[in-house]
Structure 1
Amino acid sequence: MTDNPSAIFDGLPSEVVERTGQMHALGGRLILAMADRDADTVGELIDTIAGYDDAPGRRPYPGPRFLTVYQAVFELADSFAQLAVRPGVRADGSFDRARALVRDCVPQAHQDETLRRLDTPGQGQPDAAKVLAAAALGAGFATQPAVFPSQWAMRLTLLRQIRTNEAEAHRVPARERIDVSDEEAIRFLDEVLPDDFVGISRSPSHRDLWEIDLLASAQIFLLGHPASTVTPEQVKFFLGEVTAILEGALGDIDRRRTERDQKTRGGGTGQRTQPRKKKPRGKR
């Protein structure tokens, strides 16, 4: 929704708008949990979806309780499938990935029926197994490097969609919704990474995969921890989370550092590069 509610929601009761937004958000979280192979969260989410309409104070829902969340999950899975069939993209084995995700992540009570639903996707009314099958298929596409070369960027894409759905559920105006831009994330990385870090390219088209990963991980972190309130302990946790990204990029980082140092010593433009001024994290 925008500042002026869309025609779809305008005039609808608040509980209908809330349920629709929450079901879309829960569907996105289900795919994200599948992609992360987080079996505990998958189980918790499907239980939350199944029991949503039974919560005290909620009016009885007149329609099939799994229909809205199934539609939301199917739409996301279909959008990932469309990415997989772009010219030049080789994304094979998505159904095999989905079956593996079902075996690894879906609660035992739902596994057999979910696997059957994967083999017969167009049959039957939406239920827990059909929702789980669609989520597994969506995650099967989303976790393919040919579809999302950066898995951090995939998580950021899903998280942004989830946050939008949750904002729509509560009719939060667009101007009040929080996001984190590339520039905000780059400034944060400049502050928390070592002084000799080479930095992220300002041009998206010039970024290597590790830069995309690092930037997306910073944006995800800042969505949950606004830069103005982040603590040293939270920064330490974040740095631990991105250690693997930085270690995997050591060769490229060292090469760029060498090139930068050569320019600093006059091997390039002859102009000395000024050191970055970093704000102490404890004074934020």
Structure 2
Amino acid sequence: MTDLMSQLPQPIVERMGRMSGMAMRSIIALMDEQPDTYAALVERIGTWDDDPGRTPYPRSRYEFALQEALRIVGDAMTAISERSPLPNEPVAEGARDYVERFAPAQFRDEALAKLDAIPPGHEPVDFGGEGGEGVGPVDFVVATAVAGWLVSGAGGRMATQENIRLMLLRQARSAESTATGAPEREQINEVSDDAALALLADLYDEDYAGLIPPDPKRRGPWEWDMLAVLKTHLLETPAEATTDEQRQTLKEKLLTVLQAAAATQKPKPTVRPVGKRNQPKRKPRRKR
């Protein structure tokens, strides 16, 4: 992919990077329930080509951003379907909820109508509409609403949402770095486990951070999610620049992860030893 991008004109590379980054951040905004951020991104995708000095773009302005959103939809659907086929009805209903709560008002009714037209059952669906020159903001809203619902758990069908958010943020930052032409050695798209654990120790203490096994193979989903929360923060904000308010927010997110983990723990049933039968103790008889 990098070799292909290097062969394209810089204006095209910049545009692809910006559109991909905004598509990923749009899905993150839906995951984080931030309608203002989401609306601003939907609008910005449509106005980016109007900035002074831009090379005229001959195709639909939303086409590439839509393709990137649909890529996330496809990956999520594939991951879910590997465990159990996902019918169209819950997908449409879940996306409908996201459109009703977060979509810009001017696109809401048309987006809902498109979701209502999705056939039931397991019939293949193109969540991007007809495609081509007819692609517009409504198609992007529908696709990102579907993606947002899927990556936010899909009604309990997907776990480790924090890891998914981290993955989306990595993709966004990588695309944005490509857009600016930053050399790979200068890009910061990864955060080490050690850096995340150091932040955890700073938030609490060394003993608390030691609860997460250093061996990745011994970590459970909730431990990966805790690290993902910390890494997501460090990708955007250096540890030394973290404010008290951000520290409190991180603690609240980590607590949410722990509460979710505790809710999934099932109590172990009491098992009696096989072959033994507990007999009631008999009182000794009184001597006459």
TM-score by length of 1: 0.77
8 A contact 1:74–1:134 mirrored in 2: yes
How many pairs are equivalent? 246
1:148 maps to amino acid? M
User: What's the offset of the Cα at 1:240?
Assistant: 4.2
Task: Specify the alignment match of 1:104 in structure 2.
Answer: 101
Partners of 1:29 and 1:216 lie apart in 2 by 16
**Would the alpha carbon gap of residues 190 and 34 (structure 1) be closer, same or farther in structure 2, given more than 3 Å must change?**
same
Task: Name the Cα RMSD after superposition.
Answer: 2.5
Greater radius of gyration (CA): 2
Tell me, yes or no, if structure 1 residue 142 matches structure 2 residue 154. no
**Would the alpha carbon gap of residues 75 and 232 (structure 1) be closer, same or farther in structure 2, given more than 3 Å must change?**
closer
**Would the alpha carbon gap of residues 194 and 246 (structure 1) be closer, same or farther in structure 2, given more than 3 Å must change?**
farther
Query: Map of 1:62-101 to 2, 5 A cutoff?
Result: 62-86=58-82, 88-89=83-84, 93-101=90-98
**Would the alpha carbon gap of residues 195 and 205 (structure 1) be closer, same or farther in structure 2, given more than 3 Å must change?**
closer
**Would the alpha carbon gap of residues 207 and 43 (structure 1) be closer, same or farther in structure 2, given more than 3 Å must change?**
same
8 A contact 1:53–1:60 mirrored in 2: yes
Task: Specify the alignment match of 1:115 in structure 2.
Answer: 112
Tell me, yes or no, if structure 1 residue 186 matches structure 2 residue 186. no
Partners of 2:238 and 2:53 lie apart in 1 by 33
Helix, strand or coil at the partner of 1:29:
helix
Q: CA-to-partner distance for each residue in 1:159-205, whole Å, 9 max, x for gaps? A: 01111111111222222221102232123212331354252112333
Partners of 1:200 and 1:11 lie apart in 2 by 44
Match 2:181 to one of 156, 167, 171 = 171
2:145 maps to amino acid? A
Q: CA-to-partner distance for each residue in 1:189-236, whole Å, 9 max, x for gaps? A: 123313542521123332233312211111011112223x33563545
1:204 maps to amino acid? P
User: What's the offset of the Cα at 1:109?
Assistant: 1.0
Task: Specify the alignment match of 2:269 in structure 1.
Answer: none
Task: Specify the alignment match of 2:277 in structure 1.
Answer: none
Partners of 1:73 and 1:44 lie apart in 2 by 16
2:3 maps to amino acid? S
**Would the alpha carbon gap of residues 239 and 140 (structure 1) be closer, same or farther in structure 2, given more than 3 Å must change?**
closer
8 A contact 1:190–1:199 mirrored in 2: no
**Would the alpha carbon gap of residues 40 and 250 (structure 1) be closer, same or farther in structure 2, given more than 3 Å must change?**
same
**Would the alpha carbon gap of residues 195 and 67 (structure 1) be closer, same or farther in structure 2, given more than 3 Å must change?**
closer
8 A contact 2:63–2:135 mirrored in 1: yes
8 A contact 1:153–1:212 mirrored in 2: yes
**Would the alpha carbon gap of residues 30 and 189 (structure 1) be closer, same or farther in structure 2, given more than 3 Å must change?**
same
**Would the alpha carbon gap of residues 175 and 162 (structure 1) be closer, same or farther in structure 2, given more than 3 Å must change?**
same
Partners of 1:232 and 1:49 lie apart in 2 by 31
Q: Which runs of 5+ in 1 are unaligned?
A: 253-284
Mean Cα deviation higher: 202-211 or 130-139: 202-211
Task: Specify the alignment match of 1:272 in structure 2.
Answer: none
Tell me, yes or no, if structure 1 residue 206 matches structure 2 residue 202. no
Helix, strand or coil at the partner of 2:6:
coil
**Would the alpha carbon gap of residues 42 and 80 (structure 1) be closer, same or farther in structure 2, given more than 3 Å must change?**
same
Task: Specify the alignment match of 1:273 in structure 2.
Answer: none
Q: Which runs of 5+ in 2 are unaligned?
A: 119-126, 265-288
Helix, strand or coil at the partner of 1:219:
helix
Task: Specify the alignment match of 1:10 in structure 2.
Answer: 6
User: What's the offset of the Cα at 1:137?
Assistant: 1.0
8 A contact 1:91–1:144 mirrored in 2: no
TM-score by length of 2: 0.76
8 A contact 1:43–1:107 mirrored in 2: yes
**Would the alpha carbon gap of residues 97 and 230 (structure 1) be closer, same or farther in structure 2, given more than 3 Å must change?**
same
Partners of 2:258 and 2:96 lie apart in 1 by 32
User: What's the offset of the Cα at 1:56?
Assistant: 2.3
